Amino acid sequence: MIEDALKILGGPAEVRGDVPKELFAWPYVNEEIENAVLDVVRKNKMSGTDITEQFEKAFAAWQQRKLGVAYANGTLALQAAMFAVGLGAGDELICPTKTYWASCLSASQLGASVVFANVRRDDLCLDPEDLERCIGPRTKAVMVVHYCGHPADMDPIMEIARKHGLRVIEDVSHAQGGRYKGRMLGTFGDVAAMSLMSLKSFSCGELGMLVTDKREYYERAMAYSHYERNNEKYVYETRELLPYHNLPLGGMKGRVNQIATAIGLIRLRDYDERIAEIRRAMNYFLDLMEGTPGFRPIRVDEATGSTMAGWYSPQALYVAEELGGLPIGRYAEAVSAEIGIRLSTGANFPLHTHPYFRDIDLYHAGKPTRILFAERDVRKLDEALKASEDIPCISIPWFVKYLPGEIEKYAAGFKKVSAHYKDLLDGAENDGTGGHWYAAVN
């Protein structure tokens, strides 16, 4: 064995032996959680709403909003958010093209059209400078995604939204507990909605949450998919909804399995503490990585009061030019071998490149669903999205425990590949995983 050769070329791996389990143990399970789950099962409360209502109140308070509604998953919470702000047939929803599909796909259920905006390379979030390009006479709302834990640049986004009278929905699925200039994410928009599924940093199993300060949005969100709560106890102020009590207005059943909300109540007790630990560990790793050729951390300037919360699916940018043009996929492959974690590249693929947004005719209406009721062919606007295609990002390990000695080994794995890049240049044609979504940790 050649002692300092890259693992992928026959040398020893940089991370060897046992890795302490707590370095990546997420989501954590403890006895309190186990007992809470068993209690729901033993009392056959899975389909009740008592625990869910407790969680809604507690979560909304933690999220610094007045009202909260839980859903069976984040996808439905986001759909309810669209309905809540009044998105309807012919309206347009602006959404960054690089996000998980659930940020916008269900706009089709409401007859609305999605207009995609570019994301910025340095934060992978909606580029405020691209926002006005997307606005047309029928633009109703903007979906802002705090992508891969990074807070979107809310000051200019809110300013433009206000100027044009647009509603703002925040998708906080990747960033529960994060801050933008000191203010909690999820408190900027008219409504915020998010996933709390198992892999997210706020992890409860299949569960979604919607929060808002406005009674009307809450009532519309509740009526949309909670048939057993679409009644005078919850929905009494929004006049146009009153005749329609006792049916879910979108025909969706959003009730939550209370195993998830029981877990959520316990998570709330120490989530802030846990994400502080993640922040310490991730910042330590990225401090070590500063200046590594080919590698650019994607992080916030904490001096401004912004934070990355739970660092869900953390990413870095890869700069091939600094490593002789070494393709990103080959770099990822080599680092993965050093550290024993399969890294992915490209994060989510840009949604506008999918045929769904060109021609699918879901309702057999003789017209692509995306523009079914549209006043303009919003597909033409996709031509301006080249900047969001092929963004060379690479997933990085998600350290959830501050164990400096261990974290140093992972940084050394990346640095080793950067130092030995020339050994990889021959015949390297790996362009990466191209936006397929892999969990960052084996």
Q: Which is nearer to ligand PLP, 105 or 334 (CB)?
A: 105
Among 189, 208, 254, 392, binds ligand PLP (CB under 6 A): 208
| Alpha carbons 416 and 247: distance in angstroms, whole number | 60
d(CA 116, CA 238): 31
**Residue 80 or 135: which CB sits closer to ligand PLP?**
80
Contact segment (CB under 6 A) with ligand PLP among 84-92, 94-102, 236-244, 366-374 equals: 94-102
The answer to whether 255 contacts ligand PLP (rule: CB under 6 A) is no
Q: CB of residue 302 vs ligand PLP: minimum separation in angstroms?
A: 23
Select 204 or 235, whichever has its Cβ closest to ligand PLP: 204
Q: Could you tell me the two tokens for 138?
A: 């029928």
For ligand PLP, the closer of residues 77 and 341 by Cβ is 77
With CB atoms as reference, the residue minimizing the distance to ligand PLP is 74
Report the 3 state secondary structure along 32-98: HHHHHHHHHHHCCCCCCCHHHHHHHHHHHHHCCCCEEEEECCHHHHHHHHHHHCCCCCCCEEEEECC
Nearer to ligand PLP, 203 or 212 (CB): 203
C-alpha span between 414 and 59 (Å, rounded): 38
324-363: contacts with ligand PLP (CB under 6 A): none
Instruction: Measure the CA–CA gap between 439 and 120, rounded to whole angstroms.
Output: 23
β-pairing verdict for 167-171 and 295-297: unpaired
- Do 278 and 400 meet the contact criterion of CB atoms below 8 Å apart? yes
* Given 171, 190, 333, 338, the residue binding ligand PLP (CB under 6 A): 171
Size of the site for ligand PLP (CB under 6 A): 15
- Range in contact with ligand PLP (rule: CB under 6 A) among 73-81, 263-271, 276-284, 424-432: 73-81
Of 169-177, 184-192, 263-271, 279-287, which part binds ligand PLP (CB under 6 A)? Answer: 169-177
- Shortest Å distance, C-beta 207 to ligand PLP: 7
Tell whether residue 96 is a contact of ligand PLP (CB under 6 A).
Answer: no
Piece of 67-75, 213-221, 231-239, 412-420 that binds ligand PLP (CB under 6 A): 67-75
C-beta of 99 vs 258, nearer to ligand PLP: 99
CB of 313 to ligand PLP, least distance (A): 8
418 in Cβ contact with 293 (< 8 Å): yes
For the bound state, the minimum distance from the C-beta of residue 100 to ligand PLP, rounded and expressed in Å, comes to 4
Q: At what angle do helices 74-84 and 215-225 cross, to 10 degrees?
A: 130
Interface pick for ligand PLP out of 52, 63, 75, 139 (rule CB under 6 A): 75
Question: Please, what sign has the CA dihedral across residues 297, 313, 57, 60?
Answer: positive
Identify which of 227, 192, 229 has the alpha carbon closest to the alpha carbon of residue 210.
192
Taking each continuous run of H as one helix and of E as one strand, the counts in the chain are: 9, 12
Cβ nearer to ligand PLP, comparing 339 with 385: 385
Question: Which is closer to ligand PLP, CB of 99 or CB of 315?
Answer: 99
- Tokens 């630990």 belong to 277
Q: Give the whole-angstrom CA distance, residue 8 versus residue 149.
A: 31
**Binding status of residue 97 toward ligand PLP by CB under 6 A:** no
106 near ligand PLP (CB under 6 A): no
- Please identify, among the stretches 96-104, 175-183, 276-284, 301-309, the one whose residues bind ligand PLP according to the rule CB under 6 A: 96-104
Q: How far apart are the first and last CA of the chain?
A: 26
Tokens of 53: 């209502």
The Cα 101–Cα 145 span in angstroms is 11
**68, 74, 350, 435: which one contacts ligand PLP (CB under 6 A)?**
74
Question: Which residues between 134 and 163 bind ligand PLP (CB under 6 A)?
Answer: 145
CB of 71 to ligand PLP, least distance (A): 8
Cβ pair 298, 122 in contact under 8 A = yes
Q: 50-62 and 258-289 are packed helices; what angle lies between their axes, rounded to 10 degrees?
A: 30
Q: Which of residues 180-199 bind ligand PLP (CB under 6 A)?
A: 195, 197
Is residue 173 close enough to count as binding ligand PLP by CB under 6 A?
yes
CB under 8 Å to 373, separation ≥6 — which residues? 89, 90, 111, 112, 113
**Interacting residue ranges for ligand PLP, rule: CB under 6 A:** 73-75, 78, 99-100, 102-103, 145, 171, 173-174, 195, 197, 208
